Amino acid sequence: MEKQLPRTPLNPEVIAEMVLDKAIRDFRKEKIEKAIDHSLKIRNKEEFMRLTEELKNIN
């Protein structure tokens, strides 16, 4: 049988911060992915490598 952790109510400010953090991460990820596509299109290996590293570091 699974053990359940006690539920604690989340503060609305904490929830809002979590939503904003996720939105910012998603925006950054999309922006980097577009830049990666562009670097591939123009065959810029250095930029591609830098951007893929940056993308890996986004949590």
In this prediction, residue 55 carries a pLDDT of 96
CATH code: domain 12-56 is 4.10.810
Q: What residue segments make up the domains of the chain, in order of their start?
A: 12-56
Distance, CA of 36 to chain centre: 15
Alpha carbons 22 and 33: distance in angstroms, whole number = 16
**What's the length of the chain?**
59
Quote the pTM value: 0.75
In this prediction, residue 9 carries a pLDDT of 78
**pLDDT tens digits, one per residue of 13-38:** 999 999 999 999 999 999 999 999 99
